[in-house]
Structure 1
Amino acid sequence: MLLHKEKKFEEVFRAHFRELHNYAYRFFEDTNIAEEVVQQVFLKFWERDWEKVIHTSAKAYLYRSVYNESLNLLKRNSLKKQYETYQSQHASIETYNDDSDSELRKQLQVALSHLPEKCRTVFEMSRFQELKNQEIASELNLSLKTVEGHMTKALRHLRIYLFDYLTGLVLTLMYGL
């Protein structure tokens, strides 16, 4: 079964890689970046149960995935450039002081307190104790997938919970609002 899946995946890869690379190249005009985008799409494609997930054609799915991945990368690069420009213009930001740092820590603790205990423990072990997912799984006697699920849930929760606070902080730092 796995051999059949691998062979079919390889066929799809060989059939579409070059045209997807050309498509991604139009976004970046850089062959290396285009290759990375297409490889990332195929990696995600492989990680999913792609034969069951695709409701259209594989080609349509892959083109849409390359399009989305390209737009996401362009957006990340744009934000990164904006940040770098800001940093170069304001080499020393003195408005970000201990008060902001302690307030962020307090907001993080409040956000973490809203998580289920196991989820919070996994997050803290990963981010504060800097343990790898496999180490966390072994220590808590959980499967690796369960640890990954807890991390996904925790990060999603923190992203939602801290969004307003972090947006306000960034605007304050950038524009002195």
Structure 2
Amino acid sequence: MEDLGFLPYFVKPRSGWRYSRSFQTLTSPDALPMSPRPYTQVSDEALARLLRQGDMRAFEEIYHRYWPRLHSLAYKRLRSREATEEIVQDVFTKLWQNREKLVIHVSLTAYLLKAAKYAVLDCQQRELVRQNYREAVQQTASAAHNGTEEAVLHNDLHLQLQAGIERLPTQCRSVFRLSRQEELSMKEIATRLDISEKTVENHLGNALKKLRLSLREFLGGIAWVIASFF
């Protein structure tokens, strides 16, 4: 940032009073000791003309006149003192840096207020981008976490189910596997095992009952989860 060393203000930091000529230390004019202001009666149009010529005192007068209004406008929209002061400082910095190319079509007031509004919008857009990024990161992390938990639960449930199937009686286990894993009908199972369809139905009912009991404690009584496996 260009050092605007022509502003002879005393600024009071935490460590005490010190003399500063750096624009970066600009603060509210009300917080600064009174100093002679030779351009207090000069019109805005004349100040703008003098500013284009590089008149430091013209810039100082513009700063005194418009700092409160720009600060108020920005603070009402941002509700952040730090962001507001940064925006106001940026507006005045650009005003000085672009003084030779300064073109005001309406009035100095309208020019500065418009510059402040655009600076506020730019600040809000940057904050929105940062907020969206933070939310996207949080959602991604949450999804990854949830996905990991679901994968672990699914794997544990699968192991528990397989253990329950292995504990079934031989004929009962065969009927269950043919029904649920090979997706055979009761008639097809009866033909393959050379038993009646009624026997197939009984074996399948017993298998489901035993598996539900073995999974009840693991699933904490979540009936819909059990049903989804059968």
Bigger radius of gyration among the two: 2
Bigger relative contact order, structure 1 or 2, given CA contacts below 8 A and separation 6+? 1
TM-score normalised by the chain length of structure 2: 0.37
TM-score normalised by the chain length of structure 1: 0.47
Question: Structure 1 or 2: larger helix share?
Answer: 1
